[in-house]
């Protein structure tokens, strides 16, 4: 293997990237733009749920109950209505996501310790949001019930409200959120976006970069040259690995400075792991490029192999333990899952070499396997 020939191929590829303005923007600008768009546009927090209230009781307790929803940051109060049927059109149009219907005799039954049926209408078109909304309603209703019972018991027993509450609820739950004390979704999402964008961008760049030589005919110069397959492949992907590595640094800056995600880990470990990861994803583009002949086919093939895995099988939106058995197998066969553990560990948990060395080994083996398969499939001859 001749290092000077590798440098020559890499230099030629770099000149091609710089010369093509559209390709240059695709390489250096699009990853940052996508990160900003997803970071600001994609939120896993379920808050400001548009809701309305129908109060058939109109008593002090029913108004107090209603104001617990109105004052909550999880709900955005749109107003009262006289009848829930008036709100059907608003729910159908998506203007409301939840309706609380307080029944008649709410206060009377509650003070008499009789069961009270509060109807809750929730838009179920988005199941995750609907289930989360239900949990909010349940929590607020449980708190209201506990307060009323505690006040009643305190008056009847001549004890303080705090003592009554402790009697009614002897088990006190103390929750401590580890690694993300404010439970801010962007702290988790921003690192995962680095994984997702770097799963998509490097393969696209590599596949298009190699295939456009096939379309332009310049690949015949390689066929006729003394450059070996390994020298050509290494020189061809080296600029894309370097560009993607720089993009990781840029996305890290966006995650920490723009989105405010904390970085608690070893920066050297993070960058080295990122180098292995972008080498893996660049290898995916290499495999696509040797299998197709046109840029359109390259884009379609790369999209199939990267976009879906980046979203569904890497832990970005759905935790890996929550996947089906078949989906878990697919996730373990892709590099995204291993790098997701790395970025979350580096950003939020201060886990580095000792805790994630196996993930590093998997990424290194994955990169070697992809390059090996690409080497075997690439032929320095014209296909019939």
Q: How confident is the prediction for the chain on average, in pLDDT?
A: 86
Nearest-angstrom CA–CA distance, 252 and 263: 9
Domain ranges of the chain: 3-42+184-377, 49-168
Residue 284 contacts residue 299 (beta carbons within 8 Å): no
The rounded distance, in Å, linking the Cα atoms of 284 and 291 is 11
Q: How many CB atoms lie within 10 A of CB 325?
A: 6
> What's the pLDDT band for 22 if we cut at 50, 70, 90?
confident
Name the percent of the chain lying above pLDDT 70: 95
- Angle, to 10 degrees, between the axis of helix 185-216 and the axis of helix 30-41? 150
Angle value at C-alpha 39, between 37 and 40, nearest 5 degrees: 70
Q: What percent of the chain has pLDDT above 90? A: 39
Q: Summarize the confidence of residues 153-160 as an average pLDDT.
A: 80
* Domain 49-168 is found in CATH 3.40.1190.20: no
The pLDDT value given to residue 43: 76
Query: Quick one: angle between helices 335-344 and 185-216, nearest 10?
Result: 140
What mean pLDDT comes out for the span 292-313?
84
């Amino acid at each position: 293997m001749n290092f000077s020939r590798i440098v020559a191929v890499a230099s030629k590829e770099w000149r091609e990237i710089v010369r093509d303005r559209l390709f240059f923007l695709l390489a250096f600008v699009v990853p940052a733009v996508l990160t900003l768009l997803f970071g600001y546009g994609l939120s896993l927090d379920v808050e400001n749920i548009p809701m309305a209230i129908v109060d058939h009781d109109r008593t002090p307790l029913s108004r107090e109950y209603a104001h617990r929803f109105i004052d909550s940051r999880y709900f955005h109060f749109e107003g009262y209505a006289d009848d829930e049927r008036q709100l059907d059109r608003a729910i159908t149009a998506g203007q409301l996501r939840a309706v609380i219907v307080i029944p008649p005799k709410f206060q009377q039954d509650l003070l008499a310790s009789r069961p009270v049926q509060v109807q809750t209408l929730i838009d179920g078109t988005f199941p995750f949001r609907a289930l989360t909304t239900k949990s909010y309603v349940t929590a607020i209703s449980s708190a209201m019930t506990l307060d009323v019972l505690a006040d009643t018991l305190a008056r009847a027993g001549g004890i303080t409200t705090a003592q009554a509450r402790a009697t009614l609820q002897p088990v006190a739950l103390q929750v401590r959120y580890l690694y993300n004390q404010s439970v801010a979704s962007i702290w988790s999402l921003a690192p995962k976006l680095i994984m997702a964008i770097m799963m998509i961008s490097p393969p696209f760049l590599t596949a298009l970069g190699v295939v456009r030589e096939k379309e332009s005919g310049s690949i015949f110069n390689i066929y006729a040259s003394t450059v070996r397959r390994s020298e050509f492949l290494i020189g061809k992907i080296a600029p894309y690995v370097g560009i993607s590595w720089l993009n990781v640094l840029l996305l890290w800056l966006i995650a920490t400075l723009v989105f405010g995600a904390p970085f608690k880990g070893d920066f050297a470990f993070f960058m080295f792991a990122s180098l292995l990861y972008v080498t893996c994803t660049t290898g995916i583009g290499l495999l696509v490029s040797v299998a197709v002949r046109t840029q359109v086919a390259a884009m379609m093939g790369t999209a199939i192999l990267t976009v879906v895995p980046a979203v569904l099988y890497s832990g970005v939106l759905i935790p890996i333990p929550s996947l089906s058995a078949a989906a878990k197998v697919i996730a373990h066969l892709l590099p995204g899952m291993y790098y997701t553990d790395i970025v979350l560990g580096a950003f939020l948990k201060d886990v580095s070499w000792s805790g994630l060395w196996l993930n590093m080994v998997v990424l290194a083996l994955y990169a070697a396997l992809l390059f090996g398969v690409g080497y075997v499939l690439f032929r320095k001859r014209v296909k019939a």
